[in-house]
Chain A
Amino acid sequence: MAKVIVYPPTSMILSDLVSRMGHKALVVPEAVRNLVTESKIQSPPLNMTPEEPKKGLRYAAVDVPSGVRGRMSLIGPIIEESEAAIIVEDPGWLTGCSGCSRTNELVRLLIRTKGIPVLDLSYPTNDDEARVFVQKIRSFLEGLN
């Protein structure tokens, strides 16, 4: 079982396909869960404090906007943990944890420069594309075993 980071890191479809095909999908909600359920700090909604952007300095310099560094404090550790990646081209409707394009660019860059196997895809627009989409993910994940 490989640890697979998916991009967008909040994708339901990708994390579901990775899990149902027997691998571990690394996703942002797990990082959010730790913050909102484990942390004793009360800083709703996400319990993020100015400490998170500071943790993000591990991935981006201080002149990078605080929102990018804060998001990186959630996504960065997941990238470090990952053993493989599936990247789907930005579909133009990413919001929330994936709502900042600068962060997303940095995330893709860090994944690609890590040297792990990467599968590049686009979201399907018809049935034939969907079959190829699922098949490519299946073969990629089988190849990791």
Chain B
Amino acid sequence: MLVTKYVITSPESNILPSDIAMKIYGSKHDVTVKETCMGVTINGEESVIDEVVKEIRSLDPAGIFIKDRGFPPGDPRRCRGRRGGGARPGFYMIESECKILPMISRALAAEGDVPSLPEKKRPLPPGRLEEIVKEGLS
């Protein structure tokens, strides 16, 4: 079965979409590659794609992320150029998650103990709020 995947690089990764494309072009795999603003989309037989994904990840294990895509690359049914403009709805989710990727990359690459997080903020107890109001009014 032919499958399509997004290969998305963290904005802080040193790997460029063109590096990934070159890596695939240089390999023996029968895979279609299309560069996008956030990485590349790759399309090919599932087993081949799995192999390719492993190779691509090795370029920057913590900085490259993979996502499944339903439509083949450049599918006219989803292409904004052919469908009255406007990004396809899922684009905004990828864009949003991309903003978090640098943090995720650093977390994946980090070693040692995981930091303890400060307790979540809770609402002020009503009694204390009352005291503050009284102080403010006096």
Binding site for B on A (CB under 8 A): 8, 10-13, 15-17, 19-20, 27-33, 35-37, 44-46, 91, 93-99, 123-124, 126-135
Contact = CB atoms under 8 A, between A and B. Distances in A.
Contacts of A127: 103, 106-107
B70 A35 contact: yes
Nearest to B50: A19
Contacts of B66: 12, 15-16, 19-20
Given A96-B89, A97-B90, A16 B103 contact: no
The DSSP consensus for interface residues of chain A is: helix
B47 to A, nearest CB: 15
Contact of B6 (A12, A13, A45): A12
B108 interface: yes
Contact of A13 (B4, B89, B97, B117): B97
Contacts of A33: 3-4, 68-71
B78 interface: yes
Nearest to B3: A33
Contact of B83 (A30, A45, A96, A123): A45
A67 to B, nearest CB: 12
Nearest to B103: A130
Given A127-B106, A131-B110, A132-B115, A27 B88 contact: no
A12 B65 contact: yes
A35 B4 CA distance: 14
B77 A44 contact: yes
Determine which residue in B57, B101, B114, B117 has the highest number of CB atoms from chain A within 10 A of its CB, and name it. Answer: B114
Interface string B2-34: 111010100000000000000000000000000
A15 B67 contact: yes
B68 A132 contact: no
A75 B31 CA distance: 28
